Homo-oligomer: A and B are copies of this chain.
Amino acid sequence: MKINVLTSNISFDELYFTGKTCVVIDVLRASTVIVNALANGAKEIIPVGTVDFAMKVSGDAFRSQTLLGGERNTKKVEGFNLGNSPLEYTPEIVNGKSIIHYTTNGSKSIVKAKFAENLFIACFNNLTAVVEHMNKLGKDFEIICAGNNGSLNMEDSVCAGKMIFEIQKRKKDLVLSDSSNACLIMYKTFSKSILKMLKSTEHGKLLIENGFVDDIKECAKLDATDIIPYFSSGVIKKLELNNSA
């Protein structure tokens, strides 16, 4: 079983992902938002690559069943119902709703990997659930770190490293690429405190400056849920046991 990590979402063409099994990570905050929204009863998440497309797919006919969520430069987009704080996605607000989701790096990463055979979303909140599922699947896979506008970011790389560390405990014959080994090293350096690591990253500092310190605490929670978001035909839903993946 081979694991490779892409430390940002820009380097690869959409066709690179065709037929692959992939896990998208955007710890701060898109994956954490998606996991929380589904845990709190959202029907589905529709990731979109542009704000224009988000506006287009949220027509009047579906307004009562649809919410627009996401951010640009950490802030809620004008005209959207929700920002990109996982704490906004409460059961009262999201239960039964379809959420159209646009973010600077995370939702673009998911859209880019749309030709993957299997596409899961992970963060610290659901890490062990995803690890157990990948271990059971037993397929080679690619971890796509959303990163920061084409650059590696620490939080996604550390989360990828934690996933690899946990799978290594369960499977002895793992083959790791250089980037997988790099993430493993980064995780081991920061394993004592995920929260402290998140606060020390470039994006963590920016979120703190913009008043989102509680979001960081939410994003640091390890294994708060066993929900695995699964992308298929343009939509992210909870993976059910009878699902093909």
Contact = CB atoms under 8 A, between A and B. Distances in A.
B177 A157 contact: no
A154 interface: yes
A90 interface: no
A214 interface: no
Candidate in A153, A182, A186, A189 with the most chain B CB atoms within 10 angstroms:
A182
A153 B179 CA distance: 6
A234 interface: no
Interface string A1-33: 000111110111000000000000000000000
A138 interface: no
Nearest to A189: B185
B201 A178 contact: yes
Interface in A119-166: 148, 150-154, 157
A117 interface: no
Nearest to A16: B150
Given A8-B11, A10-B10, A10-B11, A178 B150 contact: no
Contact of A154 (B11, B151, B157, B181): B181
A201 B182 CA distance: 11
A202 interface: yes
30 contacts: A4-B151, A5-B152, A7-B7, A7-B8, A7-B151, A7-B152, A8-B11, A10-B11, A11-B11, A11-B150, A11-B151, A12-B150, A148-B178, A151-B177, A151-B178, A151-B179, A152-B152, A152-B179, A152-B182, A153-B178, A153-B179, A154-B178, A157-B178, A157-B182, A177-B202, A178-B203, A182-B186, A185-B185, A185-B186, A186-B186
Shortest 5 CB-CB contacts between residues of A and residues of B: A11-B150, A154-B178, A152-B179, A10-B11, A153-B178
